[in-house]
Amino acid sequence: MNVMSPLERLMTALRGGIPDRVPCSLSIMRWVRYHYGCTCPRHQLKMATDFGLDLIVQFGSYTWQSVSNDYIYSPGGGHAHSPSGFYGDLDGVDVEVRIENRDNDVLYKRTFKTPAGELHDVIQWSRPNKGYGDGPNPHRVEPLVKSLKDLEALQYLYAAPRRDLLAEIPLVLEEIGNRALLAAVDCTQAGGWGVESLGPENMLIASINDLELLKGVCRISQNAHLRNLRAMLEKGLQVVYDSWFQCGPSVGWSPATFQNVFLPLIRESVGLAHEYDAIYIYQDDGRMKDIIPFLVEAGVDAVSGLQPPPVGDVVLGNAKSQYRGRVALVGGLDPCYSFDLGTPESVQKAVRHAIAEAGPGGGYILSTAESIDPMTSAECLHAAVQAARDYGQYEQKEMRACS
């Protein structure tokens, strides 16, 4: 078999085919942010080149610049401020922000004055490495949305996509070439930060006490998500990488709520991607064994994450035998025990096992279920890449590791 480029290798696997070898696309956003200083596509590509990864490069990640400023999740909007200034892309909305810098966290008190009324929230954001890791997420002291009457005002807080970032997509595609795969990422949907206006606790409570409110918030955020995805797909991206980590079983959602509230939204996103002949990847970093059948039925092209026990619940070999030929698999490596707390030897062992379980027949991309901790040694990353090359070669449609 001829040697493929990283782009060819990844696209072949995502389409369920057999590449020259199993692609190795570790989840590296935390690592690249800490060691390279930035998570833009170019820095992701730099790390991929340095380590020899077959990388799915993310465009629009909230850790870099969101395609549209997400002021609901972040008071900073996702680091892509409007040309008219901070919050300047919220037409007809006046914003009051009070910031209190404290030793271990920052407190944001905000009031949005929209044509449909006022919204107010209080966000507590821990400082990095103060007990909540290198990239803590916000804590909602007071949620932005409190009742159904707030939904009309909420619609005014979704800024339009940034034309300058969209214009960059063709240039980045040209620069990356066949060295990686550039994927559209947008976290405004319910599975990302779309229900942050309610806050983590209130969104779960609403699923029991006020389902109409939960669905209303999801609908508004989904509309923005579809708009953003369409804008990126129209610029030539061939893959959508949708992270639904907020809507999986690990967060506390019941299978019934997942089917009733979130699965219809996932179908919409899949349908939009397929409208552009693009590939749709569903990602979750927690337990997901019980929802994979729903995802396959919804038409997703690839399921990403596949966190194994004890942290997760996906046995990679079982997933392969159940869904082979129906959906591509991405992940299967535990970042915690194999990488973060592991050694090059534990990484090599985990990689070899994952390839033996999911590699045969193609349709598999080796990856970690979640982003690797920045304190993980570079030797562990090199060990993963080398093990993928040693054990992941396809020969007459079979794996060396399984011969």
Interval 323-361: pLDDT, tens:
999 999 999 999 999 999 999 999 999 999 999 999 999
**Nearest-10 Cα torsion for 361, 365, 370, 374:** 140
Please enumerate in sequence order all residues whose Cβ is within 8 A of that of 400, keeping only pairs 6 or more positions apart, or say none: 390, 391, 392, 393
- Asked, for residue 299, whether it belongs to a domain, the answer is yes
Enclosing domain of residue 133: 90-145
Give the per-residue pLDDT at 282.
98
Question: Same structural domain for residues 187 and 288?
Answer: yes
110 DSSP β-pair partners: 97, 121
Please enumerate in sequence order all residues whose Cβ is within 8 A of that of 55, keeping only pairs 6 or more positions apart, or say none: 6, 25, 26, 28, 44, 45, 47, 48, 180, 181
Question: Same structural domain for residues 203 and 223?
Answer: yes
Give the per-residue pLDDT at 81.
76
Give the per-residue pLDDT at 314.
97
Give the per-residue pLDDT at 69.
92
Q: Give the total number of structural domains in the chain.
A: 2
Exposed (0-12), middle (13-18) or buried (19+): which is 76, by Cβ within 10 Å?
Answer: middle
Q: Among 145, 171, 191, where does a domain finish?
A: 145
- Asked, for residue 363, whether it belongs to a domain, the answer is yes
Query: What is the 3-state composition of the chain as percent helix, strand, coil, each rounded to the nearest 5?
Result: 45, 20, 40
CA–CA distance, 169 with 175 (Å, rounded to integer):
10
Give me 168's structure tokens.
């960059």
With 50 as the cut, is the pLDDT of residue 401 above it? Answer: no
Question: Same structural domain for residues 205 and 137?
Answer: no
Question: Same structural domain for residues 214 and 283?
Answer: yes
| CATH number for the domain that contains residue 366 | 3.20.20.210
CA–CA distance, 312 with 301 (Å, rounded to integer):
21
pTM above 0.85, yes or no: yes
Question: Same structural domain for residues 325 and 339?
Answer: yes
Q: How confident is the model at residue 200 (pLDDT cuts 50, 70, 90)?
A: confident
